[in-house]
Structure 1
Amino acid sequence: MQIDTLALVLCEKYWSFEPGTVQHGRIQVTTVNRQQGPDCIITTIKLRQRDCPTDRTVTHYYYSSWPDQGVPKEPASLCAFTDHVRQHLETLPRLGPTVVHCSAGVGRSGTFVALLWLMQLCARGIRPDVRAAVEDLRLHRMWMIQNLQQYVFVYQCLRHWLNARMSTTRPIWQQLQSLNLKPSPPKPEPHSSASASKGNKVRKKHRQHRRSTSEQEQITSQHFLHPSNLFKKLWPSSTLPKKSSNTSAFTQLPYR
């Protein structure tokens, strides 16, 4: 017996990739221009309600390389996309809310919103807390970040983004030097040969300490972000679930 399968439309395509206008009931959607990125399409759209003399301009981001109930292939692409959106939002006046949606509006949407929020906190010098962010999101919409894979991916993306930012943080005179302004580093104060030798030993000791501290922090970060360790942090030690290949137990993250 043949069973016909019904193609499920997860999200209606309500805008056009090409310049032009489409009508959806009382709403007129006009595509003004489009920019093609590696994994996304950025479209400028004008919305107008019927019989309304004014329209609203919307910057529409479409990230296409993200499977439903899954994660992108690697963190770098989503980090670049999310950080671009973050910087764009920083330049806008507070005219209204930012709308984020996928198909069900929980898995991919929750992962993106959590990552964007945590990036914004880090950019303001606030320590990020992934679990607290997910718990807070779930107070406002159920099932935000749908499975353990997506939860772990938030950590991986945040680590990738922070490492990239840290690698570009240098002393200010080195930053100016990279811009060909050629400033000179601070001149050392005059001192005797004995004090110079002592100062060199102190500086060498400080460099060794910073290097060992940096290596230890990297090892600690890799250990903490390992999926098996993250999984243990989702429950108190006395109520850890039995090992299973089914990650749906992630949804037991408390709602408060």
Structure 2
Amino acid sequence: MKYTMTDARIALVTGGNRGIGLEVCRQLARQGLHVLLAARNPARGEAVATAIRQEGGQVTVVPLDVQDEATVDALARGTPRVDVLINNAAVLLHEGENALTIPLAAYRESLEVNFLGPLRLCQAFVPGMRERGYGRVVNVSSGAGQLASMGGYAPAYSASKAALNALTRLVAHAGGPRVLVNSVDPGWVRTDMGGRHAPRSVDQGADTVVWLATLPEGGPTGGFYHDHHPVDW
């Protein structure tokens, strides 16, 4: 990894080459953070990073597959620090099936990407945040992961997002009072995953993510938010 260290906060955004993740990268760069745009395919990451740089933003593309512990370890070794972690990368599998017909392999992959991937990254970077006395972690969850309203939609995805919400609570406790850890429901957003008929733009989907990523000292931690407001688990 090659980039010049500055006094800017460093934000790592997984799944940063498209959709909500890319918009989060844009908005954080506009606010002066140095963004590490993580993508499984670095060439695709570079293709979209150019526009952010042309706007004056600092962005470095880093290879990362959240399912691959070796790439997480390599990133942790090669990164001086991460101040802000956005766990955005996710998969949505067997959306139209019910909980009893989805193959176990789909549950495993959903948990690997949507839960264990964020856990790996939290284990890699949150201890350093705690040691330095500053950190922000945002887990991009979903209304589908709310136990309060959960029905039959996308069971593997919903279960993995509920697990991600649980991780938010656990890491908020482990990180201490100066590492603020929260989940966000961005809503149904027009992305490759959400589809073109979704009612919300990527700007709207990214807004609360960026707000939580840049919370001031003493901000909330261990919560679940939609449009800046807390929602039920």
Provide the TM-score with structure 1 as the length reference.
0.29
From the CA coordinates, give the structure whose radius of gyration is larger: 1
Quick one: higher RCO (CA 8 Å, sep 6+), 1 or 2? Answer: 2
